[in-house]
Chains A and B, each alone.
Chain A
Amino acid sequence: MAQLTSPVTPPRTQEWWKTRQFGQTVHDIIVYTLLVLLSLVFIFPFFWMVTTALKLDYEIFLWPPRWLPNPPHWENFGLALTDPQLPFFPTFFLNTMKIVTLVVIGRLVSCVVVAYGFARLEAPGKDVLFAILLATLMIPGTLLLFPKYILFNSIGWVNTILPLTVPSFFGEAFAIFLMRQFFASIPRDLEEAARMDGCNTFQVITRIIVPLSVPVLTVIAIFSFKDNWNDFFGPLLYLSDRTQYTLAVGLAFFNGRYDVAMNLLMAASVAVMLPLVILFFIAQRAFVEGISVTGLGGR
């Protein structure tokens, strides 16, 4: 604490390199140099993936590596998606879209209803239920996978997309928590006015709560989309028929197979990542701001 309480030396005639303005300039130069260098490091794998995807076979194995393909071979993307060694990619895409769409819809619908209950209604045992809900956030998800596998196996759901989609219609703790926080901040007046006009709970949710909660609903929709697009363990566990694979599993399946050309594999990887990247750029604001808005930052 000695440093904090030591008296300030009053600024007398200062040399130019000790002025505040100069200090700020040096500070900015250091900060931005580091930011640029580090962002290059973070972006480099993407750069490498895209350039590999645009190279010809022989260019990949040049030593030292050729950093930029010349000319870029865009046709690799077409080849990758129709390559006989990388089959079913259109099928994988449709499978993934089907699962992701169902999960997003299921999660939004179920979580809105549950979160509304926790945010607005009172009943004995509510606090206990909410505490349990928060506690489930701590349960490591993968530990439940095998008992769930056994459960779904016993009712004949293995090898269908049901184990991957049906549970999302029963709410998800994190999304419920975020929504509850958001709903609680909506003024009650609107809701009461609607009830005076004879709206029931269902109508209050659909006509008042949902239209006012678009930001948080967007965040949850994108999070769910991303998580399920990337989900690897679930589809790997439940889907063993190749025609049912999702993009994540299908792509991993071809990784390391000696007969798959690296440039085509990278082109396929780009194609798998691209929808997420595009979605992220479109919804960037909601995505990033939403995290702070919803109070995840701890304050």
Chain B
Amino acid sequence: MAIAATSIRSSAIDKKPKRATQAAREARIFYLCVAPWVIGFILFQLGPMLASFVLSFTRWDILSPPVFVDIRNYTFMFTRDADFWQSLRVTVTYSLFSIPLQLMVALGLAVLLNEATRGIGLFRTLFYLPSVVASAAAAVLWTWIFNPEFGPINGLLGLFGVQGPAWLIDPKYALWALIIMSVWGVGGTMLIFLAGLKGIPGNLYEAAEIDGADRVARFFRITLPMLSPTIFFNFVMTLIGSFQTFDSAYIIGTRASGSIGAPAKSTLFYMLHVYDQAIAQTKMGYASALGVVLFVIILVLTLLVLRSSSLWVYNEAERK
């Protein structure tokens, strides 16, 4: 970061005119280089965010000009929109179960892979492959896997004499099917854990072993604390992703049965509700208000996790 010092030196203060013009030239090229991103940021991120905020106070069907409605979108949302509360309930339930499940499975797989001496490449590929193709095609596939009559899951349960539930058709089980499906795509999270595990200095384990710590003690006293920054990163990323679940719910619940959040709104995720309001009902103002609320929810949750991080994330010498 030695170069950083030169950046502070502005051309006006600089005594030597030659260096000043050179610094100014460099600055000009810098601005030219980053211009695409700055323009893109303003056009596609900052602008839309501000627009979204302003539009959330309007009623707008795209065809006629927006009408200012004060905070009525928000009061309607909190007091009378039952679907808003249902979608929140679905999203929170899904997150409560799928986030810990995803993190634990990803961490478990990474620890197992880290213990293996041979064939890591093969197993790593096998575990990662599902998340490469986690997409519309995967969702189509899972519709079939959860088929109550001819799907393999109930086929397997049948082998043990268990009558499997109707999964995606039964409102009691549809969300669980989606939670199970989410575990299939943990490959990316697993890879990040694996990279984190590889970064733990081996001498820590050697020292612990000499001191007589068994595998379990080593895991809880070395691996977990040393891995906590990685756990933190994955936790935040999974949290943000989980609250924005859309594709699988849309394809499996909605697309397959024709009504949003089917069966019986048991898979009405928050983003599905937003999509429904915006596209099917063309209530752009209300959809924007829903978007703003989701943004605030994610922001607050992320900040809470950040705040809590000092309690459980081990920070080596406060490296910045």
Contacts and interface: CB of A to CB of B under 8 A. Distances in A.
Interface of A: 1, 3-9, 27-28, 31-32, 34-35, 38-39, 42-46, 48-49, 52, 60-61, 63-65, 110, 113-114, 116-118, 121-124, 126-127, 129, 132-133, 136, 138-144, 146-151, 153, 167, 169-171, 173, 176, 201, 226, 229-230, 232-233, 236-237, 247-249, 251-253, 255-256, 262, 265-266, 269-270, 272-273, 276-277, 280-281, 284, 288, 291-292, 296-299
Interface string B1-24: 001101110100000000000010
B140 A232 contact: no
A299 B199 contact: yes
B164 interface: no
B135 A232 contact: yes
8 contacts: A42-B184, A45-B130, A48-B152, A61-B149, A63-B149, A136-B41, A170-B39, A298-B195
Nearest to A299: B199
B137 interface: yes
B186 to A, nearest CB: 9
Nearest to A233: B246
B184 to A, nearest CB: 7
B52 to A, nearest CB: 4
Contacts of A272: 135-137
Of B27, B36, B136, most buried by chain A (CB within 10 Å of CB) is: B136
B139 interface: yes
A292 B159 CA distance: 42
Nearest to A115: B33
A265 B140 contact: yes
A3 B213 contact: yes
Contacts of B133: 230, 273, 276-277
Nearest to A65: B155
A142 B113 contact: no
Contacts of B126: 39, 42-43
B256 A255 contact: yes
B7 A129 contact: no
A21 B136 CA distance: 48
Interface residues of B, number: 111
Contacts of A123: 7, 26-28, 30-31
B281 interface: no
Given A61-B150, A266-B141, A110 B195 contact: no
A45 B140 contact: no
B288 interface: yes
B294 A140 contact: yes
B288 A146 contact: yes
A39 B62 CA distance: 49
B298 interface: yes
